[in-house]
Structure 1
Amino acid sequence: MARFVSLPDRDGPPGAARMWINPEHVVSLVPKVSRDGISHTLRVEIKLVGTPAFEAWLGAFDSNDEADACWRQFVDSFGDD
């Protein structure tokens, strides 16, 4: 049975998913952190089999450590159950 990982919806309520992806279709995940002097915004560039790469928002954080923790949790969600 297929398993899916959610991508957060930046514009929706907390915990809402914008998209679900099948981990078996992931070719690469590349973290991208931008800083505006106040917060750290974490995005991920995702490449799925047969599609062009696209970016998804993962969250805005007060520190780089918080963004790193989110990234680790996101990558861990692709592990085997």
Structure 2
Amino acid sequence: MNSELALSETTPGFVALVGAGPGHPGLLTLRGQECLQDCEVVLYDGLSNVEMLVHAPQAVHQCVGKHGQSRIWKQGEIIAEMI
């Protein structure tokens, strides 16, 4: 078995829900910024201000809908993606 695969199967992940109040990037908390700087993946929707993604240049950015430009993910799909 690949040691990288074994590690990912046994190492618990961490999910943080980060927001910026009414959407202004200046209202992002310091903890939210830390989470974005350390994450591997950011799931966001059209209600999020994409300017916050500058804090996560290392991460995969995945839009999950609510903007009318692509399919809208169902809540169950978003949860499955987080897990």
- In the superposition, the TM-score normalised over structure 1's length comes to 0.30
Higher helix share: 2
Larger Rg belongs to: 2
Q: Give TM-score scaled by structure 2 length.
A: 0.30
**Structure with a larger share of its residues in strand:** 1
